[in-house]
Amino acid sequence: MKEVNVLVTGAAGQIGYALLTRLASGETFGPDVKVNLNLVEVPQVVSRLEGSRMELEDCGFNTLGTVKNFSDMNEASGDIDWALLVGSIPRGITINGKKIEERADLLKINGGIFTEQGKALGENAKTDAKILVVGNPANTNALIGCTHGNNESQTWMAMTALDANRAKAQVANKCDLDISDIKKMTIWGNHSPTMYPDLDNAEIKGESASGWINDQNWIESDFLRIVQQRGKAIIDARGASSATSAANAAIDTVKATLSETSEDDWFSAAVLSDGSYNVPEGLIFGFPLKADANGKVSIVQDLPISDYAQEKINLTTQELLDEKNDIKDLL
């Protein structure tokens, strides 16, 4: 049986907990692939991972290989094929008596974490490893990790599939459609309230989604507001951030890279900009992506961008440039 080695940070948290059975069950990598899990947590809570290990064992999955718990990223990163970097410091936490509220402080605290994780993965993971950053601020965390990984053969991504799934759900509700009817959803830019969900290039049954909906006022007001603010709405409603949907989006992103993308679709994630669509190089930026038969990810080129869309893309680009400036001493 083929094997895949998967690392998950923040594995004792809600998103990590929601991820583990779906990684181990055969759903993600297939029924003929044995999944070896390296679970990583900070030393203060690493003991909680033993409960997760026992639960996974008790599921009786034929596709589950080894489950090992770590608090040392260097030890955990050896021979890794996939790393899901879920753990990060959230806004509002108190550290050394100071409540972390400002974006610059949040970026710098997480920057230290992702500096070390990037180095560990660059030195110890497989040369063709794929790394998906889920922990926020995901784009800039990924930029820091990628920079310190210093391994061009590895693929670093930040997750925007959650935003894409939220956008598809709103369109499906508006048009009384199945989610599967909506394809080619792109999230441009940052995984933040500035991200831009693109309905001009999305398709419904082969037609432009914006043309199918034919309600520009809804697109520019309700749709954009709901999708951009969905994370906050969930926190307000349940008293905690998205967990099940975030884990699902991470699984969607992994699966999207495991086989060649169909001609009638693409997927959304943030990758290192190469100057496409005039986005400055050196940002981890949300683009439309395709994977080839070998799992290599590339940016879909030559999509038309309206003046309205360009205005929104410029806003999210500027936010990422500002974030990069805030952590310039870490790059």
Amino acid identity at 121:
L
List phi, psi (to 5°) of 283.
-115, 145
Residues 10 and 82 both lie in one domain = yes
Structural domain harbouring 212? 161-330
Reading the chain (331 residues) residue by residue, the pLDDT tens digits are: 999 999 999 999 999 999 999 999 999 999 999 999 999 999 999 999 999 999 999 999 999 999 999 999 999 999 999 999 999 987 666 677 777 666 777 888 899 999 999 999 999 999 999 999 999 999 999 999 999 999 999 999 999 999 999 999 999 999 999 999 999 999 999 999 999 999 999 999 999 999 999 999 999 999 999 999 998 899 889 988 899 999 999 999 999 999 999 999 999 999 999 999 999 999 999 999 999 999 999 999 999 999 999 999 999 999 999 999 999 999 9
The predicted pLDDT at position 246 comes to: 97
Q: What is the pLDDT of residue 124?
A: 98
In the numeric block, which tokens belong to residue 202? 């999305």
pLDDT at position 101: 60
Question: Do residues 208 and 139 share a domain?
Answer: no
DSSP state of 89: P
* The last residue of a domain, from among 159, 181, 200: 159
Tell me which DSSP letter residue 88 carries. -
Query: So what's the pLDDT on residue 107?
Result: 87
pLDDT the model gives residue 90: 76
> Of 159, 190, 220, which residue sits at a domain end?
159
CB 9 within 8 A of CB 86: yes
Give the integer Cα–Cα distance in Å for 73 and 42.
10
- Whether 171 and 114 share a structural domain: no
Token pair for residue 329? 């001493």
Is residue 321 located within the same domain as residue 263? yes
Task: Verify that 62 and 177 share a domain, yes or no.
Answer: no
Residue 303: C-alpha distances to residues 134, 188, 252 (Å): 27, 12, 23
- How many domains does the structure of the chain reveal? 2
| Joined tokens for residue 29 | 């990598």
**Of 159, 181, 205, the domain-final residue:** 159
Catalytic residue among 119, 191, 230, 290: 191
Q: Are residues 91 and 221 both part of a single domain?
A: no
Task: Say if residue 135 is in the same domain as residue 254.
Answer: no
Q: Are residues 216 and 294 in the same domain?
A: yes
Asked if residue 145 and residue 185 are part of one domain, the reply reads no
Claim: this prediction has a pTM higher than 0.75: yes
What's residue 106's pLDDT? 82
Say yes or no: 145 and 287 in one domain: no
Q: State the DSSP string of 252-319.
A: HHHHHTSSPPPTT--EEEEEE--SGGGPPTT-EEEEEEEE-TT--EEEPP-----HHHHHHHHHHHHH
Question: What is the CATH classification number for the domain harbouring 101?
Answer: 3.40.50.720
Whether 191 is a known active-site residue: answer: yes
